[in-house]
Amino acid sequence: MMQIQTTENKDLNTLPAKQNLLALSFEEVTLFLSRLGWKRYRSEQVLSWIYKQFAADFESMTNLSKSDRRLLSEKAVLSHLKVVTHQKSSDGTEKFLFELADGKQIETVLIRSEKKRRTLCISSQAGCTLDCNFCLTAQEGLKRNLRVDEIINQFLSVQATLPDEESITNVVLMGMGEPLANLNAVTAACERMISPMGLNLASRRVTVSTAGLIPQIKTLIAGPVSVNLSISLNATTDEIRSRIMPKVNRLYPLKELMAACRALPLPPRRSITFEYVMLSGINDSLEDAARLVQLVKGIQCKINLIPFNAYPGALYQPTPDGQILRFQDWLHQHKIRTTIRKSKGRDILAACGQLTSEFEN
């Protein structure tokens, strides 16, 4: 008999006592339920409860009969993240520290911006595989990759705390970790985010950020999941990039990275966002701006300037606002689309580069 493997590479024929439905793809959920004798439309009902109505357990799936709910509870579970702390910033940003089943901790940030935009910044690893030295997460080192259910659960857990009239509209994989170092789980999670059977977000509202892992960028762009790509550039010379992002720049120096970007078969009307953290006296001169113009020449892109968010013990200082504006002005004069990221959640250390499982023992 053909053996069927799950996304976690487990054999569905030798399942654990209870199967975590969030660890399964949609097809695997359907297969699992068919083994219980359920028709296909019933799996659509269950998936709708999980991904559209954010049901926390089987008991709340009220269009299933009581006996079916009992059977599901005997055979399956929906995994959860434990909330360790939940902080709210004066600007409406919220930071969640979650504990995973093995005790590792991760952070997720909800950013409220103009109108009804609600952006969730999701973690893809506990700690990080890279060592960017302007980033607090890097100090933890890599603890482990997150599984697909742990990535998706960050969305489900935060959405469950919001009132009915408030929905997460955008997702950025820019929390703790290098998403493309956990490519399979990240791709599977993105698929569930944009699928009409899943969270049904528009694909242009989901962004995967990377420090510049070239092979994985190529795999992501060539794959079936079409999401936005954002690359942390942060320097215009190898000397500076190797100083502030040593590991990734040693693997993939600037010239190679930009050549790879130039050759990417981007879908029509898609562009790459280059993130650029502004570090005072390090990468923020007008000479840097001029080099940046040359670096991105021929690439359909936008530059996002990020004011550096200091934290206790940080090696760098933020660039003064006036210099950020001059830098932006230079790029505008050279017809490069450039935005300045509004910093959110600084008072609760939820801003970009400030994430760490600081409560961990």
To ligand SF4, the closest distance from the beta carbon of 137 in angstroms equals 4
Q: Are 273 and 207 in contact (CB under 8 A)?
A: yes
Instruction: Using the minimum distance from each CB to ligand SF4, give the nearer residue, 198 or 318.
Output: 318
Dist CA 269 CA 113 (whole Å): 24
Q: Which amino acid is at 284?
A: D
- Would you call 327 helix, strand, or coil by DSSP? helix
Instruction: Using the minimum distance from each CB to ligand SF4, give the nearer residue, 46 or 211.
Output: 211
Adjacent-strand bridge partners of 144: 126
Residues that bind ligand SF4 (CB under 6 A): 128, 130, 132, 135, 137-138, 176-178, 211
Instruction: Using the minimum distance from each CB to ligand SF4, give the nearer residue, 135 or 189.
Output: 135
To ligand SF4, the closest distance from the beta carbon of 249 in angstroms equals 11
Adjacent-strand bridge partners of 276: 305
| β-pair type (125-127, 142-145) | antiparallel
To ligand SF4, the closest distance from the beta carbon of 20 in angstroms equals 27
Alpha carbon 23 to its chain centroid, in Å, reads 18
To ligand SF4, the closest distance from the beta carbon of 199 in angstroms equals 23
Instruction: Using the minimum distance from each CB to ligand SF4, give the nearer residue, 198 or 212.
Output: 212
- Would you call 295 helix, strand, or coil by DSSP? helix
Helix (H) or strand (E) holding 151: helix 148-161
Alpha carbon 73 to its chain centroid, in Å, reads 30
Instruction: Using the minimum distance from each CB to ligand SF4, give the nearer residue, 132 or 348.
Output: 132
Instruction: Using the minimum distance from each CB to ligand SF4, give the nearer residue, 29 or 176.
Output: 176
Dihedral sign computed on CA atoms, order 118, 124, 125, 127: negative
Q: What phi and psi, each to the nearest 5 degrees, are found at residue 32?
A: -60, -45
Dist CA 340 CA 304 (whole Å): 6
To ligand SF4, the closest distance from the beta carbon of 142 in angstroms equals 9
Q: What phi and psi, each to the nearest 5 degrees, are found at residue 322?
A: -60, -40
To ligand SF4, the closest distance from the beta carbon of 175 in angstroms equals 8
Cite the active site residues. Answer: 107, 352
Which residues, other chains included, contact 243 with Cβ-Cβ below 8 Å and sequence gap of 6+? 133, 235, 282
Q: Which of 318, 319, 317, 309 is CA-nearest to residue 350?
A: 309
